[in-house]
Each structure stands twice: as C-alpha cells, then as structure tokens.
Structure 1
Amino acid sequence: MSLLENLHLGHGFRKYFRIDAALDETLHDEVFRIRHEVYCEDLGFEPIREDRRETDEHDAHSVHCLLRTVDPAHRPVGCARVVMANPADRSIPLPFERACAHALDRTIINPAKLPRERIAEVSRLAVRKAYRRRKGEERLSASDVRDEDFGTAEQPRFPYIPVSLYMGTIAVAARHGVDTLFVLTEPRLAAHFAKLGVRITRIGGPIEHRGTRIPSMIDVQDVIANMRTLMKPLWREVLAEIDRSYESQER
C-alpha cells in the first residue's frame, strides 16, 4: 500500500477546511487581506497598502477561491484566483503572456490563437505564514509543495492546502467553460503533482519572476477525467463546495 493510500483525502479535507468561490465583497475582502499579508508584508513582492488589501487590475475579471478552517472562527488560510480574459477586450494578454512573451514555446501551444473565452490563468496563490512554514524553518514562499509534505510510508501526510486551492481553481474553470489553465509554477511543482495524477505541461523556458518560474498549462477536462482514484474523494469535496458557493449566490 502506498503512503497516500493510507489517507482518505475527502474526509481529511472536510475535517479541517472549507473552500469557497469568493463571490461577494466580504469574501473578496478576506482574499485581498491574505494576499496583502503574504505578498506585501511577508515576502515584500508588492508595496504595503494603506488599506492592507492587495489588489490589481486583473481582479475585476477574476474568480477567487478562499480556503478557511471549519472551526467556528472560519479562520482564513489561503487563496488563489482564476484570471479570465478581459471581457471588455479579450485580445488583451493574460498576465503570464506578458511575463513570458520571450520564453513561451509556441510550437507546443500559442495562447493568442486559442478561443480567448476558453483560457484562463491561475495566479496569486497565497497561504498565510502560520499554515506554510514548517517548525524551525525560516524559508518562506507564497506556497509550494515539497517531497516531505507527503510524509513517509509509516507516517503519511498530504499537502491539503495547496492541492485543494489548485483543485478549487480547476472547479471554477470547469464551471466557466475554460478548457486550458495557464500557470507560472515553481520548477518542481509538475513532478509533485504528477504523483497525484495531475498533469502539468511545461510550455516554455524558465523566467525570473519572484524566483525561477516555469510557464505551464493544465488541461482542465484531462485532469478531471484522469484523476487518480485516490484523489477523487478530495476532488468531490472541493467541487461540491465550489458549486455550493455559486448556488448560494444565485438564490
């Protein structure tokens, strides 16, 4: 039995966390405050804002995911966003298209030639310091996945926080008819996600963007159709919670 087969991922997730599509101003505010804490205060990637909310021009046409604890306080844990093509002018490049203009291998895929309403970008994935720093460790990043996050055969564990946030973005993308998600990833992320049966395809050379980043893509329907059996309970939990967010908003 593999180390992950010792875990029931759906049960483990709902024991500690909940995930929502942030569809109202209250949840938006929580997302922007997490981003300020991580990107401005902890990492210094963005300037400190007087209102302690980190926002940019892409938020107006993005859907945000918010991860919180299930305890009564619903403490914010992390967030991510799906940046859609700008509805005012879909030819406007997504953020990664500008950042990676000279690094993309357009023989693999050319985002400019795809139906713009069917592509999006995952960005601003951020996890609060208390939930991402390991005991005795000073190294900080917005969020990453490492070998030790999977534990050992004797003491397995699972990186629920980043994985559930990525799953949340996939659920949002599927709901909005997005076929292809683009993302700037840390170099080892694709290998870590391959362990989970999630294929992330490299589509260009490395760039320097808050560290070394690789332009990559995720085929939304391929991930859903070919998800490992082990991962499906977690996917069902995340999908159900994202769906509930939209249903609540529609009432």
Structure 2
Amino acid sequence: MSFLENLNLGHGFRKYFRIDAALGESLHDEVYRIRHEVYCEDLGFEPVRDDRRETDAFDVHSLHCLLRTVGEPFRPVGCARVVMTNPDDRDSLLPFEHVCAEVLDRSIIDPSRLPRERIAEVSRLAVRRAYRRRKGEERQEINDVGDEDFGTAQQPRFPYIPVSLYMGSIAIAARQGVDTLFVLTEPRLAAHFARLGVRITRIGGPIEHRGTRVPSMIDVQDVIANMRTLMKPLWREVHAEVEKSFEAAPD
C-alpha cells in the first residue's frame, strides 16, 4: 500500500469524479436509469421496463447518491441508495430484514430492538458497465472491493468508484442521524474494506440472493472516527460534496 499511502485520494477523486445526494427529480431520474441499465439490462436481476427506470416501493423513503464524471457534460457512473425505515410505519422492515430473517444472528444485533429512525440500509449500488473493473467483467456486479482492485506493485490503483459510493452513503446516513447501516454483500467485502480501516461486521449466515450474500452492519460514527489517515482526504471530499447537495436543495 506504499503507493496509496503517498497518494492524496481526495485530489485523485476530485480530478475524475463528483458525487451528489440525488435530491431533485432530474437526479432521481439518472439514478433510476443507471439501475435499469445495470440490474435489468446487464444483470437480468429485475425485468426490463418500458420507461427504462428501475424503482421499487422502498424508493419512496430512500435517499440516493449519484456518482458522475467531472467536466461538461457530467456523465453518470454509478449510484447507491440509503433506505430509511418508513416514517409512517417504523415497524415495517428494511429490505435485508425480509431476505435474511432466517439467518440473522440476533445475539450480535437485533434490528427490531433498535430505534427504527436511527437505522438504514445501503442497497442498489450500481455501476455502469463502462466503469466496471476490467475488460471481460463488464457484465459482473460491482458492490465489492477485491485485492485485484488495488492493481499490482507495478501498476497500483485505487477502487474509487465502489468506495466513494459507500462513503457517500455513510455521509448521507450521518446527516440523517442514522447510527447503524446494514448491507447485504458478497462475503469478502468486510475483509477488503478492513484494509481501508472501514469496519464492517458480519451479522448472520450466508444466503443465496443473486449469488452468495451475507448480512453485515456498519457503525456510522465508528467508521468516521476511526478512518485510516489514507482514507480521510477522500472522506472529506465526498462528505463536503454531499453536504453541498443538501444545502443547495430546494426546500
């Protein structure tokens, strides 16, 4: 990681990308179009829709982040959403609670016993095929970070796209007063994020859900307080851009 330790990840991010909280109708439309391209057309996880927008019932009480390239015009790269509990029915379940009811280890954490307004879930992380890893992998999902994403000693690199989308989700969660974020991901995610000083705790057994997935949790304030020095410039950049989105949003 010596190359990365000498790299200001905030500068690197700002050179190529911008991230926003997608708060207006036009940005929502971009998010839903990315999701349709990835989840419906590329991966076949959801049916193709005539309007080419992928949405579901959870979007009504979700906040979204949108990653785009810098320069004019901004080109959409990827998105993620933070699903809040339904403000009209706090006892309604988050998506992972439906899917993982039988595998959750409630001795680690029991979502049903937490203040429902202070929990949320990161889901629908989607990256357009042109930005998904390497040649030959354009039709693979990207919600994980693997060893290969850091390149080699000869050609090191940093996985800006998935990491910044998770960071954007954490920034949104922190602003909304969320303490605990849940996420359903590939089993190796926690180990790879640990390299970056981001602790993701597994809270249940594996399930088959578009591949093998495990339920995990992120302590929002723990991640922010204990982030590695390497990651802080990237976090500051992402956090500042998300905050600007909220400040510029119409009332």
Alignment TM-score, normalising by the size of structure 2: 0.97
- 1:121 is matched with 121
CA contact (8 A) 2:185 2:214 kept: yes
Figure out how many residues of one structure are paired with residues of the other and give that number: 251
Structure 2, unmatched stretches of 5+, are none
Aligned-residue offset at 1:142: 4.0
CA contact (8 A) 2:129 2:139 kept: no
Is residue 68 of structure 2 the alignment partner of residue 80 of structure 1? Answer: no
More deviation in 130-139 or 70-79?
A: 130-139
Is residue 149 of structure 2 the alignment partner of residue 149 of structure 1? Answer: yes
- 1:244 is matched with 244
Aligned-residue offset at 1:234: 0.2
Q: Deviations over 1:133-182 (max 9, x none)?
A: 41244651143322111122333210000000000000000000000000
Aligned-residue offset at 1:8: 1.3
Q: Secondary structure at the match of 2:68?
A: strand
The residue type equivalent to 1:7 in the other structure is L
CA contact (8 A) 1:183 1:215 kept: yes
Aligned-residue offset at 1:70: 0.2
Q: Secondary structure at the match of 2:214?
A: strand
What percentage of residue pairs aligned between the two structures are identical?
Answer: 80
- 2:16 is matched with 16
Structure 1, unmatched stretches of 5+, are none
Provide the rounded CA distance (Å) in 2 between the counterparts of 1:141 and 1:205: 21
- 2:219 is matched with 219
The residue type equivalent to 1:106 in the other structure is R
Q: Secondary structure at the match of 1:67?
A: strand
Provide the rounded CA distance (Å) in 2 between the counterparts of 1:80 and 1:219: 18
The residue type equivalent to 2:36 in the other structure is H
Closer, same or farther: CA 232–133 of 1 in aligned 2, 3 Å = closer
More deviation in 181-190 or 153-162?
A: 153-162
CA contact (8 A) 1:79 1:124 kept: yes
Question: Cα RMSD between the aligned structures?
Answer: 1.2
Q: Deviations over 1:45-79 (max 9, x none)?
A: 00001000000000000000000000211000000
Is residue 55 of structure 2 the alignment partner of residue 46 of structure 1? Answer: no
- 1:96 is matched with 96
Q: Deviations over 1:9-53 (max 9, x none)?
A: 000000000000000000000000000000000000000010000
The residue type equivalent to 2:150 in the other structure is F
Provide the rounded CA distance (Å) in 1 between the counterparts of 2:87 and 2:139: 39
CA contact (8 A) 1:182 1:215 kept: yes
More deviation in 152-161 or 230-239?
A: 152-161
Provide the rounded CA distance (Å) in 2 between the counterparts of 1:133 and 1:17: 16
CA contact (8 A) 1:182 1:217 kept: yes
Provide the rounded CA distance (Å) in 2 between the counterparts of 1:124 and 1:62: 11
Q: Secondary structure at the match of 1:83?
A: strand
CA contact (8 A) 2:133 2:149 kept: no
Provide the rounded CA distance (Å) in 2 between the counterparts of 1:114 and 1:85: 12
